[in-house]
Chain A
Amino acid sequence: GQQVQQSPTSLVLQEGENAELQCNFSTSLNSMQWFYQRPGGSLVSVFYNPSGTKQSGRLTSTTVIKERRSSLHISSSQITDSGTYLCALCLHNYAQGLTFGLGTRVSVFP
């Protein structure tokens, strides 16, 4: 089965609403990170978060390794937050590649 499960699959928000995206993984890992994929397709790293809580602007990531889960919280969503958020695991080292989830597609409307 898939090692990385993301939920929900998609999310529709009205501008200003908050959202919580979940990532659950079924394996031990070295580190994990969140990526934002623009509607055009390019990928941008949002958080490198092996453990604990990190915040960057309106985004907060919390990772609990022993519970094999990570969450990404978006507060006061904006239209520009629309896109797909991907959870990725580094199981051993980057030479062996990242393992990605299918992502959560977020659509923010005015």
Chain B
Amino acid sequence: DPKIIQKPKYLVAVTGSEKILICEQYLGHNAMYWYRQSAKKPLEFMFSYSYQKLMDNQTASSRFQPQSSKKNHLDLQITALKPDDSATYFCASSLQGDNQAPLFGEGTRLSVL
């Protein structure tokens, strides 16, 4: 059973719309992350959260907003979607403090038309 659940697996959106990508982890981890993988680009770190607080933000655009309603949730809200936002978005989690390498979810593949 996957311990990091990302929903949906695939998502199609129209330009200008807003979508929320869901991530839940059942590993007892206290740190969660978002990464993005666009075509022909390396996997790119976006955000890190620990105990529901932002630790680091490497995303220039404010259209990307993480939301943490529970300690094992870190959703990603994307507003005013653009075709360039098309990518696979990976959620990850780890035990911070142990400096433990993150485990990754299966990803949500977003296509913006």
Contacts and interface: CB of A to CB of B under 8 A. Distances in A.
Contacts, number: 67
A4 B43 CA distance: 11
B104 A43 contact: yes
Contacts of A102: 40-42
B103 A2 contact: no
Contacts of B96: 94-95
**Count class of interface residues, chain A:** 20 to 34
Interface stretch (B11-19, B20-28, B50-58, B72-80): B50-58
Interface residues of B, number: 30
A97 B58 contact: yes
A43 B90 contact: yes
B43 A94 contact: no
A95 B31 contact: yes
B56 A42 contact: no
B89 to A, nearest CB: 11
Contacts of A100: 42-44
A34 B46 CA distance: 20
In the A-B complex, the 10 residue pairs with the smallest Cβ-Cβ separation, listed nearest first, are A97-B45, A100-B43, A43-B104, A95-B55, A100-B42, A42-B106, A95-B48, A96-B56, A41-B107, A102-B42
Interface of A: 2, 4, 31, 33, 35, 40-45, 48, 86, 88, 90, 93-103
